[in-house]
Amino acid sequence: MIPARTATATKVIRTVVTTALAILVIVVLWEGYKWMGQQTGGNWPGTGIELPVSTDDIIMPHAADIAAELVSDIRDGRSTLPLSVFLLKKAWFTLQEAAIGFFLGSAIGIGLAVLMLRWRVAERGLLPWINVSQTVPLIALAPIIVTWGRNQGMPDIVSISLISTYLTFFPVAVSALRGLQSPDSAHVELMRSYAAPWRTTLFKLRLPAARPYLFPAFKIAATLSVVGAIVGEISIGTKTGLGRAILEFALRYAVWPERLYASVIGAAALGLFVFGMISMAERLVLRRTDEVVA
């Protein structure tokens, strides 16, 4: 038997190695494709058929140039700092919006699920609208939310968080409902035979049973909350945030493509970070369940 600490260390090393390998594979594919395109003049080898993505330095800058951009200086207000630090600062702002969106959205999602569980008529009445809600394009929604928010005297960060909320509540509501409905009828009937009130059944049986359904939904919601915050920033305009940085770099893509790629990497990293946080929470919560079961 391997001691626990060694097992953890092995796991960490394995994660680091696989991540590094994955990055390496992406870089090799990227540079390989670029090299091939430049050898053949932008065509598939041996044919006259054009490659789907142009391989010039604007569309596909060298991976090394993008990496170098992350450590080179950029202006932030009156001072300058490395782009990676700049992106971290912006990401911190976006993370706050996303966090509000995530927690608010999850609470609303679970609340709706409980409501639909309690009253069948609510499920029939609400579920179609919850689905419809996600077909409303954000481009239509953003001005409505921000105009309403400003008329209420709320800062724009609240409006952006609400856009993020709008994206996050959906997966949580749908999965939570399925999770709450997941216990066997035998278990539900057992609770009934104890004359357990509805609330007790909810907290002692249904919510614990919903956990394996909830965490995948939380993971989707967490990444969506980042997407929502970034889209919200671009859509209604803020002075800071990752979305704002992406917008600025996109406008100057033609003269500085490396920065746009770097900021996209920053956004992806933030998405991975929140995903990781939820995974950690999941491990903590579900491990406890296992112990109970054992």
Partner 1 sequence: MKRQWTTRVVGLVVAMTLVAAACGSDDAAVGTGDCDSVDQVSLQLQWVTQAQFAGYFAAVDQGIYDKYCLDVTVREGGVDIVPQQQLASGAADFAVSWVPKALVSREEGMDIVNVAQVFQRSGTLQVSWADSGINEPADLAGKVVGNWGWGNEFELLAGSRKVGLDPSSDYTLVQQSFDMLALLTGEIDASQAMIYNEYAQVLEATNPATGALYTADDLSVINWNDVGTAMLQDAIWADGARLANDEGYADVTKRFVAGSLEGWAYCRDNSASCVDIVLANGSALGASHQAWQMNEINGLIWPSPDGVGMMDKGQWDQTIGVSTSESILASAPDSGAYTTEYAEAALDIMSGRGMDTTGRNWRPSTVKLNPGGE
- Residue ranges binding partner 1 (CB under 8 A): 54, 56, 58, 74-78, 86, 139, 142-143, 146-147, 150-151, 156, 233-240, 244-245, 247-256, 259
CB of 228 to partner 1, least distance (A): 14
Q: Which is nearer to partner 1, 106 or 263 (CB)?
A: 263
CB of 256 to partner 1, least distance (A): 5
Q: Which is nearer to partner 1, 86 or 218 (CB)?
A: 86
Q: What angle do CA 242, 243, 246 make, to 5 degrees?
A: 85
Q: Which is nearer to partner 1, 19 or 39 (CB)?
A: 39
Q: Which is nearer to partner 1, 28 or 71 (CB)?
A: 71
**Which is nearest to 96 in space by CA: 157, 185, 15?**
157
CB of 39 to partner 1, least distance (A): 18
CB of 99 to partner 1, least distance (A): 21
Q: How far apart are CA 264 and CA 182, in angstroms?
A: 39
Distance of CA 36 to the CA centre of its chain: 34
Judge contact between 183 and 209, C-beta under 8 A: yes
Q: How far apart are CA 76 and CA 84, in angstroms?
A: 12
Q: How far apart are CA 74 and CA 219, in angstroms?
A: 33
CA distances from 102 to 54, 89, 217 (A): 38, 20, 11
Q: Which is nearer to partner 1, 105 or 243 (CB)?
A: 243
**SS3 for 241?**
coil
CB of 90 to partner 1, least distance (A): 8
